[in-house]
Amino acid sequence: MGMNEDAYSLLMKGRQLLADRHSHQAAIVLERAIVLEPEKTSIRESLARALFNSGQTAKAKEQFQIMVDADPSNDYAHFGLALCQAKTGERRAATGHLKIAVAMRPDSEIYRTALSVLGG
């Protein structure tokens, strides 16, 4: 990879790696992109997913938390944060974030299923 890669190119490469189920490699690429464009939610969301999918739950949780703090109306950020919290045993916090996600997107089968699995 060249030194002149921009954040968009890194994002596209990271998303392709994610799609190909190379989550750890995607996280490495996307971490470089987020350094270049720390305010870009699209990069942060992909990075958080890559981290979560590669088993780096604590780092993923940190990224989803940054997203929730920056935009409390981001339903996917609440969902991702909840999945991380559920994985680390924070069931009450996870249920709260899932309830928020479901309230924002009641049509989301994924959100509702996750909430019912947690017993919310």
Domain boundaries defined on the chain: 1-55, 57-120
Q: Answer whether 1-55 and 57-120 agree in fold.
A: yes
CATH, range 1-55: 1.25.40
CB 26 within 8 A of CB 14: yes
pLDDT tens-place values along the chain, 120 residues long: 444 589 999 999 999 999 999 999 999 999 999 999 999 999 999 999 999 999 999 999 999 999 999 999 999 999 999 999 999 999 999 999 999 999 999 999 999 999 999 987
Model's pTM, two decimal places?
A: 0.91
Give Cβ neighbours of residue 57 (< 8 Å, ≥ 6 apart): 51, 84, 87, 88
57-120: CATH homologous superfamily?
Tetratricopeptide repeat domain (1.25.40.10)
What is residue 70's predicted lDDT score, i.e. its pLDDT? 95
**In Å, how far are 25, 32, 63, 65 from 72, measured between CA atoms?**
29, 25, 14, 10
